[in-house]
Amino acid sequence: MQEYLKQEREQAWRVELRGKIKNKDRGLIERVKMPEMKAMKRVCFQNKEVNLGLDAKSAVRESQRCMDCVNPTCIEGCPVSINIPKFIKNIERGEFADAAKTLKETSALPAVCGRVCPQEKQCEANCFYTLKLKKDPVAIGYLERFAADYERESGQIAVPEVAPKNGIKVAAIGSGPASLSFAGDMIKLGYEVTVFEALHEIGGVLKYGIPEFRLPNKVVDVELQNLEQMGVRFERNFIVGRTASFDDLKDEGYQAFFVASGAGLPRFMNIPGENYNGILSSNEYLTRVNLMNASDDRFDTPVLRGKNVAVIGGGNTAMDSVRTAKRLGAERAMIVYRRSREEMPARVEEVHHAEEEGIEFINLANPIAYDADDKGRVKSMTLQRMELGAPDASGRRRPVVIEGSEYEIPVDVVIVAIGVSPNPLVPSELPELKVSRWGTIEVDAESMQSSMPELFAGGDIVRGGATVILAMGDGRRAAAGMHNYLQGK
């Protein structure tokens, strides 16, 4: 890895580029701003992307900020180890297609990651500018998106090279980011890869969860087509363990399995009135709107619209839900979160966008009960005020109830976005599989191999609720682990 990075860095064109602009001058360039659609306008559309992407000129300018470090620490911050300086320097010299190709060396979904990764906690947190210069990091995420979008819009999409088929069949269960990343690596190694998906569309959370205004489906679809062109097979409407058993698939020649069935099981709070109509999980709400197109009259799936919509939680799913509610016409779209703004796990950019769109933040408050009308439809919620106490195990200050602080607010739709648990479907079919008491599959952290040798796992079924890019990193490690295992057999 180190050797490869060094060789690439010593290529003549990169040496030449480094000589063109002095590092001192690179450091003086200001970080680019992402152009975006105006808040007043964008809340009228469920399906128009907020961030508009960089144009070529500003992408090149931004890429000039990157100093092509001897020791590119940014790569250490990337869970799939993208060769970041190489792709950025390709942008600087105007070879945008080569930049896109570089991304695909290690990432199956660059256009997705460029949009939804929390770069501020990963690559950009490890950028030389952040670490040493205390300046804004190079906008690696924006540049990744630029390169991937450029390639897609050019219509000249490079299909990565794959090794000759080795005749070994492997299965990936679930078609979210972990599986897609796994499939991309395994197909390159020559395996016959089939991805099994329970829903009618491929993509997992990329399709049913993250809304169009953050991640357009067409962007995901192009990356899926790319995998298909490399030879990955997709089976929709297929639940491994149900539609066919693991034994059935072994009989059909599958030699190893990668389980990436996610953490799709929504959590509720189990407070009085939570089963009234109008109270639903963020998974249900987002699935209706994103997967089933419920906001569009031409589609058959309905969605509940409300005047006063409260979303419980402070993560990205909560932000996606509340911004969706705003776009579906809510007069008051509110975030109700039991800690303060600083502790919100959502990306800063999403919180900022939500605020611009007129989302109301009710911080340091927690629902304790709901009340309904005579038809069982929720009409109000009782909130309890909180204050912050001592830090808990996660290092965040624990919310403490302020006694006697209850108050009521009117609501007609409530979306519960307090987290998800691992989906129990696969573990319930495999009694001998070792799972933790939280229901996550236990694996070796390096190889991602489970207690059953032919079964590997990754993503949220191993981590609980995490991020797209961590899931993709797991997929890459599992592919390497499975390759080792199958070659050693």
Partner 1 sequence: MNQIIKVESFSENVVQLVVHAPRIARSRKPGHFIILRIDEKGERIPLTIAAADEKAGTITLVAQKVGVTSKRLCEMKAGDQILDLVGPLGKATHIHKVGTVLACGGGVGVAPLLPIVEGFKKAGNRVITILAARSKDLIILEDEIRKWSDEVIVMTDDGSHGRKGLVTAGAEEIIKREKVDECVAIGPAIMMKFTSLLTLKYGIPTQASLNAIMVDGTGMCGACRVSVGGQTMFTCVDGPEFDASKIDFDELMLRLGGYKAEEKEAFERFMQTVTV
Binding segment for partner 1 (CB under 8 A), chosen from 137-145, 210-218, 230-238, 461-469, is: 230-238
- Least Å distance, CB 126 to partner 1, is 34
Q: Which residue of 39, 125, 222, 239 would you call a contact of partner 1, by CB under 8 A?
A: 239
Task: Tell me which stretch binds partner 1 (CB under 8 A): 176-184, 264-272, 343-351, 396-404.
Answer: 264-272
Q: Which of 238, 369, 439, 454 binds partner 1 (CB under 8 A)?
A: 238
The verdict on 334 binding partner 1 (CB under 8 A) reads no
Does residue 288 touch partner 1 according to CB under 8 A?
Answer: yes
Closest distance to partner 1 from the beta carbon of 208 (Å): 8
Query: Is 299 a binder of partner 1 (CB under 8 A)?
Result: yes
The binder of partner 1 chosen from 80, 168, 173, 303 (CB under 8 A): 303
The angle subtended at Cα 7 by Cα 4 and Cα 12, nearest 5°, is: 150
Task: Rule CB under 8 A: say whether 218 interacts with partner 1.
Answer: no
C-alpha distances (whole Å) from 388 to each of 80, 310, 335, 351, 362 are 36, 22, 18, 20, 15
Name which of 303, 307, 278, 211 is nearest 416 in CA terms.
Answer: 278
In the block, tokens 């912050």 appear at: 388
Residue with tokens 């070879």: 95
Contact (CB, 8 A) for 286 and 208:
yes
Which one of residues 63, 194, 384, 423 is an interface residue with partner 1 (CB under 8 A)?
423
313 sits near partner 1 (criterion: CB under 8 A): no
How far is residue 9 from each of residues 5, 13, 59, 82, 90, measured CA to CA in Å? 6, 9, 21, 14, 12
Q: Does 23 bind partner 1 (CB under 8 A)?
A: no
- Quote the CA–CA distance of 257 and 250 in Å, as a whole number: 10
Can you tell me which of 77, 141, 176, 264 binds partner 1, judged by CB under 8 A? 264
- Taking every pair of C-alpha atoms in the chain, what is the biggest distance, in angstroms? 76
Q: Which of 298, 395, 445, 488 binds partner 1 (CB under 8 A)?
A: 298
Q: How far is the CB of 129 from partner 1 (least distance, A)?
A: 41
Least distance (Å) between residue 21 CB and partner 1: 51
The 3-state DSSP class for residue 484 equals helix
**Is residue 199 a contact point for partner 1 (CB under 8 A)?**
yes
- Amino acid letter, residue 473: G
Nearer to partner 1, 253 or 453 (CB): 253
* Binding of partner 1 by 309 (CB under 8 A): no
Q: Does 11 bind partner 1 (CB under 8 A)?
A: no
**Residue with Cβ nearer partner 1 (314 or 422):** 422
The verdict on 375 binding partner 1 (CB under 8 A) reads yes
CB-hemisphere CA count at 13 Å for 205?
Answer: 29
302 binding partner 1? (CB under 8 A): yes
List the strands of the sheet with 233-235, edge to edge. 233-235, 192-196, 169-173, 254-259, 455-457
DSSP state of 435: B
Beta carbon of residue 307, minimum distance to partner 1 (angstroms, whole number): 14
Look at residues 157, 158, 203, 214 and name the one whose alpha carbon lies nearest to residue 178: 203
* Contact stretch for partner 1 (CB under 8 A) within 35-43, 94-102, 194-202, 449-457: 194-202
What is the C-alpha separation between 236 and 196, in angstroms, rounded?
6
User: CA angle, 65 as apex, 356 and 219 as ends, to 5°?
Assistant: 55
> Are the beta carbons of 234 and 184 closer than 8 angstroms?
no
- Whether the CB-CB separation of 433 and 457 falls below 8 Å is answered with no
> Which residues are near partner 1 by CB under 8 A?
198-200, 208, 236-239, 242-245, 248, 264-266, 268, 270, 274-278, 280-281, 283-284, 287-288, 292-293, 297-304, 375-377, 423-425
